Amino acid sequence: MSVPDPRAAQRTDPGLEWINRFARLPGAFHETPAPAPFPDATCLATSPAMCDRLGVEAALFERDPWLGACTHGSALPGAEPRASVYAGHQFGVFVPQLGDGRAKLLGEVRTAQGETWELQLKGAGPTRFSRGADGRAVMRSSVREYLASEAMAALGVPTTRALALFGSSLPVYRERVEPAAIVLRAAPSFLRFGHFEYFHYNGYSERLRELIDYARAHDYPELADAEDPVAAMLEAVIARTAEMIADWQAVGFCHGVMNTDNMSLAGLTIDYGPFAFMDAFDPGYICNHTDQGGRYAFDQQPRVAQWNLVRLAETLVIHFADATREAAIERAKALLEDFPRQYRQAWLTRMRAKLGLQSAQEPDEALVQDLLARMAAEGMDYTRFFRQLPDLEQAETRTQLESELEDVPAWQAWWSGYQARLAQEGATPAARRAAMHAVNPKYILRNHLAQAAIEQAEAGDPSEVLRLQRILARPFDEQPEFEAYADLPPAWASGIRLSCSS
Ligand code: AMP
Ligand code: MG
C-alpha cells in the first residue's frame, strides 16, 4: 500500500528535470551571476499555455522557492544560473563583447513530455556583461515582451516564450524613473548569432569549435549524421530564418533591432524591444524611434536577415568539411544566395493563404504586390483589411470600403483581377472565408493596446495584461465581447514612441 507523501502539496519540484546543458560548457562561455535584491516581488502574470507546456501550475511562480529564485536570485534546487558572453553587429558596427547584461539563464529543464526548455530571467540584475548598466528592465518593456512572446506564439510565429511576469517596488532610472520588472522567458535555445561572433572574432578558435559542436547537438540534433554537419547546420539556420521572416512579413511584424546579437540560432523571434505590429500598411515603416536611417524598416527585414546570416556564416565556414577554404566559401555563398528564394517562396505561400488561394499560379505574386501597393497608397489597416477581405464579396461591404478610398478605379481593377483569380479556385465562399480567418488574425498586439496594459501594470494592476493575454491567445477567433480590441488605433497611438531604452 502506498503511503501518501505529506509534503506532496508543497512540492517545490514540479516534475521538471534540470539538465542545464549550457552550464556544462567551459567557464569561457559564461559566469555565475550573483543574487540581486528585488523588493516587494510579486508574480503579476503567468502564461497558461506555457505552464501547460511545462506541466507546471501557475501558482508555482507565486511562492518560494521559485518566486525568490526568479526575482532575488535565491537558490532553486537543480537550477544552475549562468549569464553568457556574446558579441554582435549592432546597426552594422561590430561590438566585440556584449553578453547577457541583464539576462540570467536559470538552467534547462526536461518536461514530462520529454521537451527541453531553457528558462531565462530578463531584468534580474547586473552580470559581468552589464558594461556598467543596471541589469534591469522596466515594466514598460517587460509587459511588451511578455505579451508579444505569447501573442506571436499564438499566431504561429517561431518565438521565445514568456512564462511569468514579476513586478517590484524597485525604481529604475531611464529617461524617467520607472518601476522594474522581470520576465521569466523560455525557449528551446537562447543561442544567438552573436555567441559565434564573440569566439570567432576574438580568435578563440578552440572555443568556437566547442560552441559549434554544442549548438549542433543542442539545437540541430537531427543533423548528427549529415555528411558535413557544420554546413548542414548553416543550411538549416538559413531555412528556419527564411520561414521566420516570412511569418513576420505576413503578419505585419516589425522587430525594430535586428542586430546579430538579436538573431536566434534556432530561428526564433528573440529580444522584443521597440517592435511593432503595423497598423496602416507602410512598407517602409520604422518602429524603432532611434533607427533614423531605417536600417530595420519593415521592408528591409528579409535583406537584413540575409546580411546577418552572412555574419554567422563567416564564423562557421572554416569548420566546413570541404578540402579547401575556397571550396568551403563557395559552398557557404551558394547556401546564402538561396535565402532570397526560400524567403520569397515562404512569403508567397503565406500571402496566397491570406488571399484565400489554395493553388499556386505564376501571376499570384503580382496580384499580392498590387494589393500591397494599393494598401500602402490608401494607408489601409493591414490586419483589419485581410480579416475583412472575404466579406468584401458582399457588394454592400465593398461599397462601404470604397467610400473610404482615394482611388476607387485602381481598387476596382485589383478587385476584378482578384475575382477572376478566385474563379479558378475550387473552394466554396464559406470554406474560403473560414480558411482565410484561420490565417488572418483578428487580434494583434497593437501599440495602443500594450500601452493601456503598461500604464495599469506600472500602477501595480495586472488586470489589463491578463485580459490582453487571454484575447491574444486566440487571435484568429471571433471574441464578440472584445470587439473593441480589434478596432482601428485611436489618434493618440501615432504619438507612441518606441526606442531601445528598456
Ligand atoms: P539589447 O539592446 O536589449 O538587445 O541589448 C544589447 C546589449 O546590452 C546586450 O548585451 C544586453 O545584455 C545589454 N543590456 C541592455 N540593457 C541592459 C541593462 N539595463 N543592463 C545591463 N545590460 C544591458
Ligand atoms: Mg538583445
Question: Can you give the pLDDT at residue 479?
Answer: 98
Compute the average pLDDT of residues 468-474.
98
Compute the average pLDDT of residues 480-488.
98
Find out whether the beta carbon of 125 lies less than 6 Å from any atom of ligand 1. no
Q: How far is the CA of 98 from the centre of ligand 2 (A)?
A: 9
Match 526575482 to its residue by C-alpha cell.
Answer: 71
Compute the average pLDDT of residues 462-471.
98
Question: Can you give the pLDDT at residue 259?
Answer: 98
Question: Can you give the pLDDT at residue 11?
Answer: 40
Question: Can you give the pLDDT at residue 1?
Answer: 40
Contact between 9 and 51 (Cβ < 8 Å): no
Each domain of the chain, given as residue ranges in start order, spans 12-193, 357-426
306 — pLDDT class (breaks 50, 70, 90): very high
Query: Distance between terminal CA atoms of the chain?
Result: 56
- What's the mean per-residue pLDDT of the chain? 96
Question: Can you give the pLDDT at residue 13?
Answer: 56
For residue 10, pLDDT over 60 is answered with: no
500 — pLDDT class (breaks 50, 70, 90): confident
Ligand 1, atom 8: closest residue by C-alpha: 101
Pairing mode, strands 116-122 and 137-138: unpaired
15 — pLDDT class (breaks 50, 70, 90): confident
The tens digit of pLDDT for each residue in 362-398 reads 999 999 999 999 999 999 999 999 999 999 999 999 9
For residue 2, pLDDT over 50 is answered with: no
Pocket test for ligand 1, best of 98, 142, 257, 296 (most atoms within 8 A of CB): 98
In percent, the amount of the chain with pLDDT more than 90 equals 94
The tens digit of pLDDT for each residue in 108-160 reads 999 999 999 999 999 999 999 999 999 999 999 999 999 999 999 999 999 99
pTM: 0.96
For residue 4, pLDDT over 50 is answered with: no
Which of 42, 104, 165 is CA-nearest to residue 450? 165
Find out whether the beta carbon of 442 lies less than 6 Å from any atom of ligand 1. no
Question: Can you give the pLDDT at residue 8?
Answer: 42
For residue 26, pLDDT over 50 is answered with: yes
The tens digit of pLDDT for each residue in 349-365 reads 999 999 999 999 999 99
Question: Can you give the pLDDT at residue 7?
Answer: 40
Angle 37-42-45 (CA atoms, 0-180°, nearest 5)? 130
For residue 5, pLDDT over 80 is answered with: no
The tens digit of pLDDT for each residue in 409-418 reads 999 999 999 9
The tens digit of pLDDT for each residue in 169-226 reads 999 999 999 999 999 999 999 999 999 999 999 999 999 999 999 999 999 999 999 9
Amino acid occupying residue 151? A
Pocket test for ligand 1, best of 31, 86, 95, 102 (most atoms within 8 A of CB): 102
280 φ/ψ angles, rounded to the nearest 5 degrees: -70, 140
Q: Collect all residues with Cβ–Cβ distance below 8 Å to 102 and sequence separation of at least 6.
A: 122, 123, 124, 125, 126, 127, 130, 133, 134, 135, 136, 137
> Cell digits for 238?
538559413
Find out whether the beta carbon of 271 lies less than 6 Å from any atom of ligand 1. yes
Question: Can you give the pLDDT at residue 497?
Answer: 86
Asked about 261 being catalytic, the answer comes back as yes
